[in-house]
Structure 1
Amino acid sequence: MGGSVIRRRQLARELRRLREAAGYSLEVAADRLEWSTSKLSRIENGLQGVDKHGVNGMLDLYDLGGDHAEYIHQLRREAMQRGWWRAFGLDDRGYVPLEAEASLAREYTLAYVPGLLQTADYARAVFATSVLARSSEKLKNELAARMYRQRRLTADEEPLELVAVLDESVLLRPVGGPDAMRAQLEHLLIAAELPTVTVHVLPFRIGAHLGMDGGFSILSFGHLGEPDLAYAEHAFGATQVEKEIEVGRATLTFDRLQSAALSPADSVKLVGEVLDRA
């Protein structure tokens, strides 16, 4: 199953809504379509793709035509399009396919510079610390994918807005060695000048804070009408959070961390001071 993860979710939700509006239970609709109930359930939950003929069968059953039927087919085509990340050996799971369609990323990091703001040398050093085994080819592809992701920060069409809150320790940890870290700090200063990037530093002086358990990201899809989701990576994998109450808790935490952090201007000033001492 390939293509746009978010478009597939949109298609799934719309097909489920159409079935319910037509008054069919999952079991009856599956029987009329000559599918198993589990197949229809997987399609309606975005876990399985559906081809043109399958969609046509559903639209006929639900007695839907005209412009809305064409909208459904457009979603289907977009859902099946191959994502750019596939060229780098990445599949449709995980953070990258989700970020690729987000309009806003809010990211709090406790230990490292966010991936969207990393230099290649810094990113390479971060990858080297992972407990996940990577071949040299896989490492090369993941590094290239990380650099490719950054293009959206300067894209003319549908750019990605990034609001990053970094713990002050991020600026002081010499990831990749002194030279690589100096280059990373310089890059951070340049990136902070982009209209799509806002950088906040959470200073040591505030003491204990809500973000001490670890970093996380919140993705928003305003232009697509999709609900926000939260994502947290850890040493043994990652957790994707979609329940409204849990995403709301993550959003509140981020807002409080952002409020406690230095202003963008003072944050840039602090980065410059650390660079001068490096």
Structure 2
Amino acid sequence: MASRRSPTARHRRLMAELSRLRKSSGLSRVEVAERIGSTDTTVWRYETGLTRPKPSDVSALTDVYGVTGEARDSLIQMAVEARRRGWWHQHRQTLKPGFDSYIGLEAEASLVRSYEPLVVPGLMQTEPYARAVTRATSMVHDPSEVEEQVSVRISRQRLLHGPGDPIQLVAVLDEAVIRRRIGSREIMAAQLEHLIDLSRLPNVEIRVLPFSAGEHAAMDGKFCLLSFPEPEDPDLLYLEQAASGHVPDDPEEVRRYASMFESLSALALDPEASTAFIAQMAKRFSNLSP
């Protein structure tokens, strides 16, 4: 997936590798700092992602850790890539805090597993539907900022179609997502038809969680799980609130949500039945009187 390298994901890998190498060396942050002529706080910031080290900084660290050859070159190149800016960087002021980081991680993911209780996931929204959702939920009132947020959402959808290997998307949508009218009936009907089109893609799976499933483990709200092509990169969990989003660091929490997603998938309709239900609701919206 070299065609979808992301600075955010490269930075995440780099900080994990620097932390791993230091621990393997048996050196403390103070000892490493002394050898590279820096401070232990700086080393800590490199390892926790608060500072993106320069390639020269990484070169000095590899000398301390005894890393040579291709492994050294790879880490230095990672530092170069981590300091670049993704296309989303210019839009970060109009996005909720934390969401720009999510976009950067999503850009290099191989698999997205998403549970949505209220609206169609951003990767699958039509532009009119996205505009209606953004207008209703955005904390800004400037039309130009609304349009910028919509543009970012639509731009992310290139992940489903390439270039390179398209991302795999598995979405579990609560029945409310399919029934709740967003925008006009025409907008909603077109959105549901778009879901049907997406379901035909080999890299997209859509499952509807029916009301008849009753209570379930994810009643607290939406979440998203990201998996990556490199085995060294662990899965990530993204949680979003009205004003912000964040990626928890606890691996156990990631495992809990992964188990939750499996539970939801088992309760949901299979892909064929889900598509049939979506088609039925699309037809209903199309036939509604204005």
Q: Is TM-score (shorter-chain normalized) higher than 0.5? A: yes
The answer to whether the 8 Å contact 1:110/1:167 transfers is yes
Residue aligning to 1:251: 258
Amino acid at match of 1:85: W
Q: Is 1:239 paired with 2:239?
A: no
Residue aligning to 1:34: 37
Amino acid at match of 1:257: L
| Alignment map for 1:211-230 (pairs within 5 Å) | 211-223=218-230, 225-230=232-237
1:88 Cα deviation (Å)? 3.7
Which residue, 65, 81, 86 being the options, matches 1:83?
86
Which residue, 127, 151, 154 being the options, matches 2:134?
127
| Alignment map for 1:1-278 (pairs within 5 Å) | 4-89=7-92, 93-94=98-99, 95-130=102-137, 132-133=139-140, 135-223=142-230, 225-278=232-285
Q: For 1:189 and 1:89, locate their aligned partners in 2 and report how far apart those are by CA, in whole Å.
A: 31
TM-score (norm 2): 0.89
The answer to whether the 8 Å contact 1:89/1:138 transfers is no
Considering only aligned residues, what root-mean-square deviation do their CA atoms show, in Å? 1.8
Amino acid at match of 2:16: R
Q: For 2:270 and 2:175, locate their aligned partners in 1 and report how far apart those are by CA, in whole Å.
A: 13
Q: For 1:22 and 1:207, locate their aligned partners in 2 and report how far apart those are by CA, in whole Å.
A: 52
Q: For 2:26 and 2:264, locate their aligned partners in 1 and report how far apart those are by CA, in whole Å.
A: 46
Flag the structure with higher helix content.
2
Please list the CA deviations of residues 54-93 of structure 1 after superposition, one character each: whole Å capped at 9, or x if unmatched.
1222222333322221111121122122212124446894
SS at match of 1:147: helix
TM-score (norm 1): 0.93
SS at match of 2:234: strand
Q: Would you identify which runs of 4 or more consecutive aligned residues in structure 1 move more than 6 Å? A: none
Q: For 2:256 and 2:22, locate their aligned partners in 1 and report how far apart those are by CA, in whole Å.
A: 33
Q: Taking every aligned residue pair, what percent have the same amino acid on both sides?
A: 37
Q: Paired residues, what number?
A: 276
Q: For 2:231 and 2:167, locate their aligned partners in 1 and report how far apart those are by CA, in whole Å.
A: 13
Residue aligning to 2:288: none
